[in-house]
Amino acid sequence: MPQTRLDTARIRAARRVIDPVFLDTPLYRCEALEPRLGCAVSIKLETANPVRSFKGRGTEVVASLLAGSGSRAVVCASAGNLGQALAWSGRRRGLDVTVVASRFAPAVKLDRIRALDARLELVDGDHESARERAAAIARHDGIRLLEDSLDIETCEGAATIGLELVDAAPSFDAVLIALGGGALATGVGHVLKELAPDVEVICVQPLGAPAMTHSWHRRRVVTTDSADTIADGVAGRFPIPAVLDDLLLTADDAVLVQETSITAAMRILLDHAGLVVEPSAALGIAAILEDRDRFAGRHVLTIVCGGNVDMDAYHRWVGTSPVHGP
């Protein structure tokens, strides 16, 4: 049993405070993908909910705790999905939510955060600048700072996906997980290592934002000076030491994929699974495309973790030309 910061009993308890709209998401074999990938493929789909990503699982846990303790406000930095989810969870509990994001985040994500009544503050830099600014707001206002992947509730929320994978009596023998800050990978990985230890846990990160993967391989925090990837949801540069420690206990491997593989994976998911996904959610399929021999004949599950994507960019990436319609 991995001695991570996570605890399976707490993860089960987390499920009980999460709005059911985020739970028990579709898990299904997608045979139409398989001739293209050379292995059996199952999908865990986290996009069919009000915020179109898995992040609502974690923000439900946080917002529930805050509302229960009488807190009135919370701030987070977000690449877009966490902020949208926190805005959703906070709105229904009467919390004042502030989200700090890079002004280079996808417009669709920023628009949705505003539409969910959160206060949105944009910074000129990247996600790491947003993290600094969010921390400053929390200090100044004396309110809770929600830090993705560091704060255990975000990992516990993500880990509820792992419970659902295990409850499905998994026939898959490898799980491909998008790796960004690490909440998804450590959360799901913890549950799998404890309850389905034979399943290989493989994290996937873009070659253009490799900090956590490099850190995992070197077993110490490695930062990068820049991040250059279309997978905005996982484009961090400063791995969190405590999360890396957990990742070292829960991941069997961490691999990097090229941008062209990410867009090819997005196109395959559109053409053969009918799924519109954001780049981060295509990382698992991209990993199969880059190493078919490794997965040949195996049964692989990938978590399709988000579907918030600017459609103009999406069409450009997958190779379709949008005509502006209604």
Q: Where on the chain is the footprint of a copy of itself (CB under 8 A)?
A: 21, 24-32, 36, 43, 45, 47-50, 52, 112, 115-116, 264, 267-268, 270-271, 274-276, 307-309, 311, 315, 318-326
- Residue among 325, 318, 14 at smallest CA distance from 163: 14
Of the two residues 216 and 295, which places its CB atom closer to a copy of itself in the complex? 295
Of the two residues 284 and 307, which places its CB atom closer to a copy of itself in the complex? 307
> Given the structure tokens 């549950």, which residue do they identify?
191
Cα 66 from Cα 35, distance rounded (Å): 47
Least Å from the CB of residue 307 to a copy of itself: 4
Cα 280 from Cα 184, distance rounded (Å): 12
Of the two residues 58 and 239, which places its CB atom closer to a copy of itself in the complex? 58
- Residue among 236, 34, 277 at smallest CA distance from 129: 236
Cα 18 from Cα 21, distance rounded (Å): 8
Least Å from the CB of residue 318 to a copy of itself: 7
Of the two residues 175 and 251, which places its CB atom closer to a copy of itself in the complex? 175
Residue 168: Cβ within 10 Å count: 15
Cα 24 from Cα 78, distance rounded (Å): 25
Least Å from the CB of residue 306 to a copy of itself: 10
Cα 207 from Cα 203, distance rounded (Å): 12
Of the two residues 111 and 200, which places its CB atom closer to a copy of itself in the complex? 111
Least Å from the CB of residue 81 to a copy of itself: 13
Of the two residues 105 and 276, which places its CB atom closer to a copy of itself in the complex? 276
Least Å from the CB of residue 29 to a copy of itself: 6
Phi-psi region of 14 (alpha: psi -120 to 50; beta: other; left: phi over 0): alpha
Least Å from the CB of residue 302 to a copy of itself: 14
